[in-house]
Chains A and B, each alone.
Chain A
Amino acid sequence: MAQQANLGELLSTLDSPVLSERDEVTAIFKENLNADRGPMLVNTLVDYYLETSSQQVLHILTTLQEPHDKHLLDKMNEYVGKAASRLSTLSLLGHAIRLQPPWKHKLSQAPLLPSLLKCLKVDTDVVVLTTGVLVLITMLPMVPQAGKQHLHDFFDIFGRLSSWCLKKPGHVAEIYLVHLHASVYALFHRLYGMYPCNFVSFLRSHYTMKENLETFEEVVKPMMEHVRIHPELVTGSKDLELDPRRWKKLETHDVVIECARISLDPTEASYEDGCSVSHQNSARPPPRAADVTASPHVDPQNSFGSVTSTPHSASRPMSSTPGQPPPPLSSPAPRLSAEAPQAALWSPSLVCGMATPPTSPGNVPPDCAQPYSKAFGASGGKGTPSGTPATSPPPAPPCHSDDCVHGPCPPPTAPHARKEERTDPARPCLHRQHHLPNDRGLEELPGSKELPLSDLPGFLGGLASEEDSIEKDKEEAAIYKELSEITTADTEPLVPRGGFDSPFYQDSLLGCPRKTPSATAGAQGTSVHPESFNSSLDKLGPDTPKQAFTPIELPCGGPDESPAGSRERQTPPEPRILTPSPFRVPSQRGAGLSSGQPPPYDHLFEVALPKAAHHFVSTKTQELIKKVPGSSEGAWVPSASPLEVLDRLIQQGADAHSKELSRLSLPSKSVDWTHFGDEIRTLRNQLLLLHNQLLYERFKRQQHAVRNRRLLRRVIRAAALEEHNAAMKDQLKLQEKEIQIWKVSLQKERARYSQLQEQRDTMVAQLHSQIRQLQHDREEFYNQSQELQTKLEDCRNMVAELRLELKKANSKVCHTELLLGQVSQKLSNSESVQQQMEFLNRQLLVLGEVNELYLEQLQNKHSDTTKEVEVMKAAYRKELEKHRSYALQQSQRLDTSQRRVLELEAQLAKKDHLLVEQKKYLEDVKLQARGQLQAAESRYEAQKRITQVFELEVLDLYGRLEKDGLLRKLEVERTEAAEAAEERPDCCNNSGSGPVRGHSDAVSGHNGETRPPRPGSTRGGGGSGSVGSGSSGSSSGSSQLSTPEKPPAQRAGPFSSRWETAVGEPSASIPATVGSLPSSKSFLGMKARELFRNKSESQCDEDGVTGSGLSETLKPGVDAGVEAKTPLSPDGPRPAPPSPDSVGQLRIMDYNEAHQEHS
């Protein structure tokens, strides 16, 4: 609650007249709103607003941020349901919506929309309806997709309201109906623009009904006359136009413009195409048509022209006058002087679909600049002026561009006509003038059109500085209204107000000033205007503290001073401002109310409203100006816009009026004020309606402005492109020129080249001819030289020949000389020969004589010598023959001997060969024999073994026999021989029973032979047991055999016979010798071994060798050795005899062969 109380306090302070306080409170609220997300604060604010309709609260509410929108909408929904608060809620909603809050898309889902529709369908209060419809129309473009759900609600509402217009339920005032009609018309436009197919089908279905036919005829049909066929009717369909995709592409202002486009109403659609201008004019109400036609036609075009042509002129000069690059500065000259050309210019901007609006803001600067430049001769001074306007438009134009649509044309012309017509020229000045020090301070128009911002400050500043100012204003306004009421008709006491706050005025005012500067500058006394501008600018430049508003302020400051100087001339602009309002209103009205209805209260605006307003405003401003020349600048609230100011003005006016009324009514309540009160209420309502409409229009205008901004951007871009294009073209031209220059030079060069070529050709030809000639010469020379050479050759040949001849001749000479010498020699020789011949001849003669003499002698001695010679010859012959035969003999002998030698040699070789063969054969045979011998030897060995075995056996048997005998003997001799018994132990000790007996035998038999047994016994000890026993046995058994073996060395002869006997049993003795040999006598053993080893060899070899070998060792008895050998091998005799034989045979054979061959 404390908070609530606190809130209440705060709210109350919100409307405090102290600006700073108010700002603080506003800031506090905003902070709270930011901090608090609950609905409470918003609800309180809404409540407070509905109670007090405070501007500050409205401001806060309309700028609510996102989270609070829901609460606001809920709250409003709640209040819309209540009839009492419905109107104010709707106006609040209107305010909120018109600002296009970020949450506007939520409206379609909000419950507020259905409730609004419901109230529109149900409510019967015209004011509420009108307000609601306007709100709805405003809302529609923002939530186009909502149409899908509520389309039929919209149509129902349209049907209901349109029928309302006709049926006029009794209690509804006619005046209200007009507003309603206007709003219905707007609704019609909107619906037709947005949903043509659906809407048309609705119209068809709805108005084919009989009961509605009248309504159609009266109300709808005229409306339809002012729209063209919507293209969607052809291309679209019911479903297609409800498709959200269609709306997604379009922004709010796009939708608004779309709707405006289909309008035939010049005011609505004027800017969309060029015709609109003329339309506008033609559409004007007849009464003013004359005025309008007179001037507007020229002026609009003028203004348009000047405005629109600027780009052209700017661009055109560019192309036409290349010398001056900056067209904007140079172009003005022709344009300013001559209007005609401008009229002719149909700018591309129009073609582009850009009507006036963009031009005005965009072109003003250049226009402004031009005048300045004109005035000051395009000097450095231009900088600032041209700069400032240039900067100014951007901020300002958006707001006003819209106005230009309506405004531009009429203002220039109207003023004059109007001024004359209207009795009070000052009236139209409206609030513009109230800022101005004097009514005619219209040269500010340039500034004043931006002024909305600038004068408001001034105005507000006044408000701020003087807290009472508003109240005073109100009071004064009230007073004036009173006055006006008194003066004017009672029926329309409030008209001034309606007119006062009608948007048209403002619009027109705002619009014209904008244009005027340029227009006036261009068309009228340019010299003056610029000056004023300049002066104002120059002066203001330093004064105005705010740069942002400089352009706006210029007028503000300007007015203060400039008026003084330029008052007389400023007159023309003044009327201009006046004019618009009448035009605007009528035009709109006319359009809105259709042609059939002459604006019933149009004039009221003009007549009634201005008065009060003028009075109020003028006084107010005067006061303000008096009071706040300085303070206005200090207490400046930047946020206030001219529109707000207007709103506030209306509001305050209304407030003042109501206060006045209340004040008045208080005392006079008793009187029949009731009726008056009714009137007042109706008027108030009307005022409200008008305000609403104004707001709606303003909204539309804003949308236009948004669009214009966009278009402007395009224009600027297009212009830039165009310039770029032009520049390119220029460059192109330059390049073309260059190219041409180059071409020309090329041609020249070509010509030169050809000339040079010709020259060269001729030169070449000459040279060629020369060459030819020279070649010819050369050939000639060559030929000559060849000839000469041949000649030379010939000469040489000749010389050579001559030389040869010379040589020959020389040789001949020599030869002849030689011959000569020879001849001379011969000659001498022949001479000598002749001499000799002679001598010889003589000798011959002599000798012949001698010969004759000898012949004579010879014949005498020839007979006795021949016999002797013949004998001798014969002897010699015989001797020769003898020798010959002897030689023959000798040679024959030699031959034979040689042959013999050869034969012998062959025989020798043969013999050698044979010898080798024989050797081989011998070897072979040897081997063979050895093999056989080995076999034989093995046999012999076997035999030896056999004999051994046999011997053993025999000995064994003997042993047994003797044992038996001994036993017997023992029995016999046991008693007799004691000696034998003594010896026995020895024998028993030595070698068993057998040897003992043998030993005893030997001892008994041969005393001398006791030696041999001893060695035998020792042998037996050294040899193996069996052998030893064997040997001992043998020695004992064959004592005769063994004894002779050793004796032979001592007494070979006597024992040889015994040997022979022993031959019969040799095998028994042999083992003994073999066994005894090694051990008994080393050298004998050696021999024996040698013998055994080399038996085969020794047998093959001569006996002598062995004999000699043996003889060396066996000195004593060679014969015995030989003899001993033969018995050694019992088989030996057999092979031995043949082998010597065979050897002998071989030898013999060999010898024989050799002998035979030798012999």
Chain B
Amino acid sequence: MPRFSHYEAALGSQLFEKVKNCRVLMVGAGGIGCELLKNLVMSGFNQIELVDLDTIDLSNLNRQFLFQKQHIKKSKAQVARESALKFNPNANIVAHHANIKDPQFSIEWFKSFDIVMNALDNLDARRHVNTMCLVANIPLIESGSEGYLGQVTIIKKGETECYECQPKPTRKTYPVCTIRSTPSSPIHCIVWAKSYLFNQLFGIPEEEDEELDKELNDENADEIANLKAETLALKRIREAMGSQDYPKIVFQKIFNDDINRLLIMEDMWKTRKQPVPLVYEELEKLKDTESQMDQTTNSNTLRDQRLWSLTENFSIFLESIKRLSTQLLAEKMTNPDASLTFDKDDIDAMDFITATSNLRARIFGIEEKTKFQVKAMAGNIIPAIATTNAIVAGMIVMQAFKVLNGDLNECKTVYCSPDRRPKSILSELLNKPNPDCSVCQSVHVTLNVNVKKATLRDFLKEVIQGHDEDEEDVCEVSVEEGGRIIYDVEYDDNLDVTFEKLNITDGKMVKVTPESEDDEKYPTVFAISHRETFESPNTWFHIDGDITSRSRTQVNSNAHKRKLDDSEIDPQEESSRKRPAVIENEVIVQDDDLIMTEDGPQRLIVID
């Protein structure tokens, strides 16, 4: 019997031909990705390209079955490909160990596929693929899972909701002063340990002066000056890295000197509990007396899942600094600019974050946490298991059959949710696009441009305003690329800079939003395609497509109004949009794995 005859019979030979010949792009080779790749090659899909930037970690092995212990630290995309080829040696699988946002994965490249399947674990990449598929007009199957919950849906330009038609919850951010001076909950201590101290000591220290100045007011001038001085002192201390005394110096600085400095600002503690600095020598003494006593207590319980004592935190803090320093110094031997980045699955980094945040919590009278808990909070860990991923991947292929068969109207959003008994799987019809969505309702065109020659001014004059506009007129638009503001009415510093210098190169997307108040129009998204020469000698531009922007008022937007009104827009996010393109400075919980949970009927998303 030929290998796929059962599929051919079940699908019909016409659809099966399409399955065999279609080109599939799979983004992500993690939990869902491993299952999906297996299902695809076992179901007769023959032309698969696979992109994943990640490498294999021990904590993947409880579900990502294409990987085994010997594969740890290797490329997920490549190992997944090799393992899947064993199931079907005839499948044509191309693996890219790369970021899907890399310019090599251009619109033209996306257009070469018949269908795109997301098996991602972060919002940012989902947004990117969503936009690319809209621009390329390729159907996208979007998916995610979290613990026992899973979801699969289809996104098709003009016919369904896109990934951004419903607002997504934004990252939680914390005011700098709360993190640095007046923490009041465990998460404040953890964010301080992870986003501030870890980076100051081992990572790339953030330039924070601007952020601090933003918070400056009459009441906190002393505090701000103090914080700047602290950071400066820490930078000097970093130079002592590797010396015998290094852990002790750091300890004294952050848990004693800095706390004492905070205490001087009496106003701050009128309504708050005063912090109590830790004294190195006292802890050392305490440790000695403890070590003379019986050591067997607690040894049976999991170290990660019980609270550490004060002296344990103390010892682990010193020990982990030593280990992280050694690691960093070793890397600096080969690369003088080396730095460490926080990884929730790195034991030393997690030891450091846990001990540091607990010591800080102790100082401020805040509840301490176990390493297991700290890991969840610092890493925004999403529970993940094999079973849900298997269900989700199976659903993706089911939906793919319908998409390939041209039955988009039969496609469904499918949820797997244990709260909705008696049924384990629910589905609902796909929603129509949200007429107010700034992503899928934008006009998408390809802009051929000589990025070396053309400047922002050229672009605004020639492409946006057209030649007939008055030269002195201020262009009432805002221009963004990858979340950076390049230009708006109040920010024209970049006008005479070329595209290339602005890092707007081949494959990038530039979004232009009309800002004039009386006539609200949809944004236009330009996919940048570099070209050296043009037919007309006086220009650096050529547009593929029509950029006449539709007016928002032309579309009835009542259907989606309520949903949008209900949503909360993070004020932080709002304000950051108005700022010019500089390095982001917020103290932010920096991790991709963000849960997005939305209220209302089963709008539960979707990770991993």
Physical interaction between A and B: no
Please give the residue numbers on chain A whose beta carbons come within 8 Å of chain B beta carbons, in ascending order.
none
Please give the residue numbers on chain B whose beta carbons come within 8 Å of chain A beta carbons, in ascending order.
none
